[in-house]
Amino acid sequence: MEEIRNKVAESGLITISLEQYYPEHQPLAFDLKNFLFMEMLLKEKDFREALDQHDWSVYGGQDVAVFCSTDAIVPMWAYMLVASKLSGIARSIISGTTEEAFKQIFIENIRQVNAATFEGKRVVVKGCGDRPVPEYAYAEISIKLLPVVKSLMYGEPCSTVPVYKRK
């Protein structure tokens, strides 16, 4: 009788799940429209007063997306002023919508990967999981690992799609 072997375990493949690099929390939104006259016009004195009266503590330790959801003409200094109010309170301040902020945080988390730990290894980037992983995350991990890995694959260890093999 032939011995049953786990060829996947013997293959030396390293599996990466991009879900582990998901941002810990959804970024909070700071929409400048709420501080504009009729949600369309920035009156400097009123804007400054509204910012001074705002409870900034709700952003403590959070990632904050700063944007204006209306077509108002907002001077650049307004974004600077909001950033100055959030500085030292928020974990990070990102210019853009919450979706754009989520993307930026996700990419930054992937960029923190120590690629040297994958030097000369055969790596599979997991294709399925509990949460949907956006395509930009797959591109980002590829950019990070291609210079160092022996091979890069997509899928599951038992069924992979080859992406790259060092010659």
- Given pLDDT bands bounded at 50, 70 and 90, which one contains residue 51? very high
Q: Where are the domains of the chain?
A: 7-23+104-165, 28-97
Which runs of consecutive H residues, i.e. helices, occur in 43-152?
Answer: 44-53, 76-86, 98-111, 135-145
- Assign 3-class secondary structure to 125-138: EECCCCCCCCHHHH
Say how many C-beta atoms besides its own lie within 10 A of residue 99's C-beta: 12
How much is the pLDDT for 11? 57
pLDDT at 6 over 60: no
Q: pLDDT digits over 62-111, tens only?
A: 999 999 999 999 999 999 999 999 999 999 999 999 999 999 999 999 99
- Contact between 96 and 83 (Cβ < 8 Å): no
pLDDT at 4 over 70: no
As a whole number, the mean pLDDT across the chain is: 92
